[in-house]
Amino acid sequence: MTGPMYPGWGPEARRGLWSVLGCACLSFLTCDAPAQRSSFNNREVVPPDGTGHYRILIGGHFHGTSNNRSGYPAATLLANLDTINALAANVFVCTGDLFMDPVNDRPRYVRALFSKLNMPLFNAPGNHDAPAVEDPRTTLLDIPFNVGDSGATRSDRVLILDTEQDNGSFTGDQLGMLEELRDVPGLRNVFIFSHRPVWAEDDQRYDGLFKDNTRSLTGTNFRKDVYPLLEKLAEQARIYWISGSLGGGAPSSIFFQRHAPGITFIQCAIRDEPRDALLYADVFPDKVEWSALSLTGQGLLAPEAYDADWWHAHAGKKPDTNWRLLPYLVKTTVMRKEFWWGALAGMLVLLLVRRTCRR
């Protein structure tokens, strides 16, 4: 809970509070401490069943298109609430941009989405979610799933991080929580959620794949400070870093890349498009199985098929134009204020060039 949420708190006070929260989190499912609750719909995180199985449901960019002014979530999401609830996930994680306007849209989200979900919802804050800082639990979470395995206690961790806080870098409490994973006994699976795919920056393998995503202007400390931690953790556990900043031109709602032994990078986000899909992980004591749910009825490949090679082969390809929509598309373009600001700026540039050439 660093940054603007509690500007008067010093480092010692923050560390003390996180120590208390950390103890409470570590006792989750192992004592009588209350389970963690969603700040959006107040539902509790459900523990694994008797076999150690649990399910994480994943999506992002729930406000849909960038020009959605309705104040409601994407239509593709709302149309599938019955199917989503039928999945009976232990936890539902949004990979950021939950809202378009987190202050004014929240009452509509409560009525249309939060109150109808039968599972706890959490969010990895995106650039559209600020200034929704009334509840720090939306910024940083640690949800341990402790499962007995052959007489030994093994632990899974779900971390929800805030890449908007330090422009994509991880410092202070956030970096500390990643570092503390090295001391978790019997660590098995680590699911890390962030809005920005910071792992894709400065990596040629992913160059050009996420052109429209939110990214830092000056670089992050991911390669220097975070990735070495992941490599160390991957010696004993499976690491899944899941993000959700995908532009409207993305060829799929899912990206799934086994980056290195024990380390997998994933993206999942919807845009109120025909490609919209959610991702979910079924976690068992000895394996993790990944599945996808289309929100529009389209046929989908296995999530693992949507890797960097698939994306490079399909990026930039657009569906055939429906010319019958042309009048509507022209009207919606001309009616946007961005169009007129661009037109005005273009006219001013032309006038300046013309005046310069006449001299």
Q: Look at residue 69 in the predicted model and tell me its pLDDT.
A: 83
Q: Look at residue 67 in the predicted model and tell me its pLDDT.
A: 80
Residues paired with residue 148 on neighbouring β-strands, in sequence order: 153
More confident residue, 181 or 7: 181
Residues 180 and 55 grouped into a single domain: yes
- Reply yes or no on whether the pLDDT at 14 is more than 50: no
Mean pLDDT over residues 185-196, rounded? 93
Residues 104 and 226 grouped into a single domain: yes
With cut-offs at 50, 70 and 90, classify the pLDDT of residue 317. Answer: low
- Reply yes or no on whether the pLDDT at 116 is more than 60: yes
Residue 25's CATH number: 3.60.21
| Least confident piece of the model among 63-77, 239-253, 339-353 | 339-353
- Reply yes or no on whether the pLDDT at 276 is more than 50: yes
Four-residue CA torsion sign, 174, 180, 184, 188: positive
Q: What total of structural domains would you count in the chain?
A: 2
Residues 216 and 338 grouped into a single domain: no
- Nearest residue to 256 (alpha-carbon basis) of 240, 238, 237, 234: 240
Q: Look at residue 129 in the predicted model and tell me its pLDDT.
A: 86
For strands 54-59 and 91-94, give the pairing: parallel
Residues 328 and 302 grouped into a single domain: no
- Sequence-ordered alpha helix ranges (H) in the chain: 11-26, 75-78, 81-86, 106-112, 172-180, 227-233, 308-314, 326-334, 337-358
Q: Look at residue 28 in the predicted model and tell me its pLDDT.
A: 35
Residues 203 and 169 grouped into a single domain: yes
Residues 143 and 96 grouped into a single domain: yes
Residues 210 and 352 grouped into a single domain: no
- Reply yes or no on whether the pLDDT at 19 is more than 50: no
The span from the CA of 202 to the CA of 316, in Å, is: 21
Residues 136 and 57 grouped into a single domain: yes
Mean pLDDT over residues 263-277, rounded? 96
Angle between helices 11-26 and 172-180 (to 10 degrees): 40
pLDDT (tens digit per residue) in 320-350: 555 555 675 576 677 777 778 888 888 888 8
Residues 85 and 47 grouped into a single domain: yes
- The CA-to-CA distance between both ends of the chain, in Å, stands at 58
pLDDT (tens digit per residue) in 199-220: 999 899 998 898 777 777 778 9
pLDDT above 90 covers a percentage of the chain that reads 53
With cut-offs at 50, 70 and 90, classify the pLDDT of residue 169. Answer: very high
pLDDT (tens digit per residue) in 54-69: 999 999 999 998 888 8
The predicted model scores a pTM of 0.79
- Reply yes or no on whether the pLDDT at 275 is more than 80: yes
Domain with 282 in it = 3-314
Residues 200 and 348 grouped into a single domain: no
How high is the mean pLDDT of the chain? 83
Residues 224 and 296 grouped into a single domain: yes
Residues 126 and 198 grouped into a single domain: yes
